[in-house]
Structure 1
Amino acid sequence: MLDASGITSEVFHLSTMIVIKLTTAYGPMTYLQKDGSFAELLVHKLCLGVMWLVTSEFNQIYRARCKNRRDTNILRVTHLCGTLDPCELKDIHLQNRKFTWCNERRDPTLCKPDSYFRNTYWDLHIENHVLAAPSSSLSGHRPLFLASDHGLK
């Protein structure tokens, strides 16, 4: 279980006997608190044989191209990647849009602070997964939907 910035739980799929670990993370606003939440995610790195899905709104992008402006803090991107890489987490590609958040100003900042990440074991058991965001939302954030056209392998 993560602190107030996230929750981790395990789901046991009865028909396949597979354990799925699900972490939902919400990133704090300050850099020091972000680094603490990244370090805590490292604690949850799994051993082989467990599927892991991380749904996140880290309040942080993980690639410079996840923002429409050049004022990206590369050090912050490096810190997040320095957590995702040792956790062996890979991004699930968002199918129908490039950005998930807008500050809703006349000259808007667009970025993708919301993502789903999965480990390799997830890919071995879930095929044809798709991540999509609806075209409209009541806030600056677009909700994300993960679906698979097949069940567990």
Structure 2
Amino acid sequence: MVRISKINVCFEATSVYGLTVCTYKDAFFAELISHKPLPGVAWLASGDFNQIYRARDKNKRNINRSRINWFRAALQSCELKEIHLQNRRFAWSNERVNPTLCKLDSFCNVEWDTTSDTHVL
């Protein structure tokens, strides 16, 4: 729990680095769901989930739509919604000649969104 006492704010923050191995994705999504706070608690979850939220979040076409659906189902179970990246499409590159570009994700629940309505990425 993060507390900012000067402005009387507290929230849960989850920093994520997702597994890259497909066989562990279900366990990763289950762990994310297990971190869902009690109702009424603001929650911010951000980082590199190593999973895209939608096809346009990656510049390459080698995407696994069923994993996108699993990810979206986990986010729905957590009651998390996307915080949109402002003024650019991608936030990460593998720095190769023909780079893979991806968007790193941030998600919040409705409590975070309504109390922190000025957040920008």
TM normalised by structure 2 equals 0.89
Shift of 1:17: 4.3
Q: Which residue of 2 aligns with 1:127?
A: 117
Correspondence 1:29 to 2:20: yes
Native 8 Å contact 1:18 1:50 kept in 2:
no
Q: Distance in 2 between matches of 1:129 and 1:119?
A: 13
Q: Distance in 1 between matches of 2:48 and 2:71?
A: 12
Partner-residue secondary structure (3-state), 1:130:
coil
Q: Distance in 1 between matches of 2:55 and 2:115?
A: 30
Q: Distance in 2 between matches of 1:111 and 1:18?
A: 32
Map 1:43-54 onto structure 2 (within 5 A). Answer: 43-54=34-45
Which deviates more, 99-108 or 59-68?
99-108
Q: Distance in 2 between matches of 1:61 and 1:129?
A: 21
Q: Distance in 1 between matches of 2:64 and 2:14?
A: 25
Greater relative CO (CA pairs within 8 A, separation 6+)? 2
Deviations 1:94-116 (A, max 9, x none): 1021011223333332222x111
Structure 2, gaps ≥5 residues long: none
Deviations 1:59-81 (A, max 9, x none): 11111110122221111111111
| AA in 2 matched with 1:60 | Q
- Report which of the two has the higher share of strand: 1
Q: Which residue of 2 aligns with 1:118?
A: 108
Correspondence 1:41 to 2:32: yes
| AA in 2 matched with 1:82 | A
Correspondence 1:77 to 2:50: no
- Report which of the two has the higher share of helix: 2
TM normalised by structure 1 equals 0.72
Structure 1, gaps ≥5 residues long: 1-9, 132-153
| AA in 2 matched with 1:123 | D
